[in-house]
Amino acid sequence: MNSEVKGIEMLNLKDFRTLRSEEEYKAALAEVRPYFENEPDEGSDAAAHFDALVLLIEQYEAKHYPIAAASPIEVIKSVMAANNYTRADLIAVIGSKARAADLLNGKREINLDQIRKLSREWNIPAGSLIGEISA
């Protein structure tokens, strides 16, 4: 049963909970799918239902299907593959054939200057090139 606060309709949070099983997750996926083909009007009950389903699905996936962050080298290699960049292109940005080779082979970690250059030249978010910070 919905309640009202100063004329604003509130959600009944007693019936709202996270997805608890794979079956509920699959049911939520099936229920949200039609919204992608026929997006509900903003502010409608259908839009609120869509938003709630997406939040529940995202929370379940974050808990049960976490995606590990890519290492800086994986990011660089992915950007190179996606843009058909060669080692020569990397060398042109990094400035040294030996450093580029060591970087791609995992013999050397990326440094701040290289992060800045790659971020600027290849439009890679700097945060994706930082990786794990070791103490």
pLDDT in tens, 69-117: 889 999 999 999 999 999 999 999 999 999 999 999 989 999 999 999 9
Domain that holds residue 89: 72-130
- pLDDT tier for residue 67 given thresholds of 50, 70 and 90: confident
Residues 58 and 77 in one domain: no
Query: Are 56 and 77 found together in one domain?
Result: no
The pLDDT value recorded for residue 9 is 52
Q: Please give the tally of structural domains in the chain.
A: 2
Per-residue pLDDT reduced to its tens digit, 112-129 = 999 999 999 999 999 999
101 assigned to some structural domain: yes
Dist CA 59 CA 3 (whole Å): 26
Q: Say whether pTM exceeds 0.75.
A: no
One domain for residues 125 and 78: yes
CATH of the domain at 81: 1.10.260
Question: Last residue of a domain, which of 24, 41, 64?
Answer: 64
Q: What distances in angstroms separate CA 17 from CA 34, 49, 59, 71, 79, one per listed residue?
A: 22, 13, 11, 35, 39
